[in-house]
A and B are shown apart, each in its own frame.
Chain A
């Protein structure tokens, strides 16, 4: 038996440990990853086609369900494009409320990510802590919108719910608490050797490679790319708000952790500004049912990076064509690059670091001799025997151990 046989293992698409269906076909030599092929599309529901068959207002609720975490991202990205086609002047108060919900969504997404990242490196205490704290922001979202996810706050021409002074006051109490907790997480991330050692030098992506591969959001910013649609191409109320684009030069998973933690602090700053400076006035204007013919490209900075919606109207109450591109799709190539020549054990955290997540491997392994092109399937028992034999050749005989 060859000392380091090249073989290919499938990871996904269905596995109890997978957070979402995706399939990774990983070519390995020993523990080292030679290359990764990614198969996506298991969640493709034909929403673009469905949007063509529904009215604009129906589509708002449909696109909000593209993603369970970034629901406000998609509804805002879509709606601001339609409003541009219609030439609507959305009231400033509505734009501030959109930015408020957008930042609360970013907070809940980043805290969720922190927990998943902790889990992927075996640091489940961090998962428990961050997900407990995440409940604070979920409660704020529930009070402000009526929902934990799929907030339903947007409508064509503005927002559906106003923010009362009492709600704003309660939200600020929650934000104070979250800021205190985030400072603690930043302290943990910068001092806890478990995190520093496990994440540093893992999933390395240089600034040049990040640019070449089109890495977006915290993935790109952790490689020193100062790119953020909120700043570069402002929408909602961001043009009037004071905040910084957080970047880092570690160019690895550790850097991505730092960027997300610092972005949380900026989000709290934005939320306080929005609640303090929110202009008075109406929260929506009347929108037409039929939209004039036109086309727009709408951009939004989702928690994972730039989200893009293209919308083409044809003078009716239904769009001619819509096209959505979520940030994960753009980051897939970067993941494939980051995994090459790394160890299999780093795969869960490297993939989780762009935000889709999965762990563990299937128990049936397809062994593919890359040189000969031979393929054979090994069940659990054969895989077990193979490992015993592999170690025996190394001088360690587990077969002699008592069963």
Chain B
């Protein structure tokens, strides 16, 4: 059994809701999809029991009426487990994971600035990456956001 198949089986054995939600894409790449209500449990199990010790980054996606989130976890043997989840775009509230990965702070600030996520537990500090005078409620990575014509240069 390959490493990624072993991870897949352990996740499916531990969580019944993951039985048909864990996919092996190729060697060293897995994708799992969970409801946000179960996310933290799966995330902590992957770190503590499956030894995914590194959070590569967090990707945010504008999935229409949902804010998609992918937490990319890596293990020492090079396997990457991508855990996908989502929250409603109308109320995109998520919990911070900086208690588990301090380096996640800057990834979560990106979600706040660029996609409008609300991250509970994220301490107040400098914003990132937009400027301090960036307009409120303007989230440039949302599909509905277009660069104002006045700002466009030649391309």
Task: Decide if A and B are genuine partners.
Answer: yes
> Which residues of A are at the interface with B, using a C-beta cutoff of 8 A?
23, 25, 37-41, 44, 46, 48-49, 84, 211-214, 227, 229, 231-234, 295-297, 299, 306, 308, 310, 312, 321, 323, 325, 329-330, 332-334
| Contact A49/B141 with A211-B53, A213-B102, A310-B70 known, Cβ cut-off 8 Å | yes
Contact B29 A41 (CB under 8 A): no
Provide the B2-25 mask, 1 if CB < 8 A to any CB of A, else 0.
Answer: 000000000000000000000001
Contacts of B101 in A (CB 8 A): 214
Q: Complex: how many Å from CA A295 to CA B72?
A: 13
Contacts of B106 in A (CB 8 A): 40, 329, 332-333
| Contact A232/B76 with A297-B56, A321-B61, A330-B103 known, Cβ cut-off 8 Å | yes
Contact B54 A214 (CB under 8 A): yes
Contact B56 A308 (CB under 8 A): yes
CB closest residue in chain B, given A233:
B78
Comparing B37-45, B88-96, B126-134, the segment that makes contact with chain A is B126-134
Minimum distance in angstroms from B8 CB to a CB of chain A? 16
Interface size in chain B (residues, C-beta < 8 A): 40
> Which residues of B are at the interface with A, using a C-beta cutoff of 8 A?
25-26, 28-29, 31, 53-57, 59-62, 70, 72, 74, 76-80, 82, 101-103, 105-107, 114, 125-131, 140-141, 147
Contact A41 B80 (CB under 8 A): no
Minimum distance in angstroms from A229 CB to a CB of chain B? 7
Contact B130 A41 (CB under 8 A): yes
Contacts of B107 in A (CB 8 A): 325, 329
CB closest residue in chain B, given A323:
B59
Contact B103 A214 (CB under 8 A): yes
- Across the A-B interface, how many residue pairs have beta carbons closer than 8 Å? 87
| Contact A325/B57 with A233-B80, A333-B102 known, Cβ cut-off 8 Å | yes
Q: Complex: how many Å from CA A329 to CA B58?
A: 12
Q: Complex: how many Å from CA A227 to CA B56?
A: 13
Q: Complex: how many Å from CA A312 to CA B84?
A: 13
| Contact A310/B130 with A49-B141, A213-B102, A332-B106 known, Cβ cut-off 8 Å | no
CB closest residue in chain B, given A309:
B57
Contacts of B79 in A (CB 8 A): 233
Contacts of A299 in B (CB 8 A): 56, 74, 80
A/B interface sample: 18 pairs, CB < 8 A:
A37-B126, A38-B126, A39-B128, A40-B129, A46-B140, A211-B53, A213-B102, A214-B103, A227-B76, A231-B78, A233-B80, A297-B80, A306-B56, A310-B57, A310-B72, A329-B106, A333-B102, A334-B103
State the 3 A-B residue pairs at the shortest beta-carbon distance, nearest first: A232-B78, A41-B129, A233-B78
Contact A312 B72 (CB under 8 A): no
Q: Complex: how many Å from CA A295 to CA B130?
A: 26
Q: Complex: how many Å from CA A211 to CA B54?
A: 8
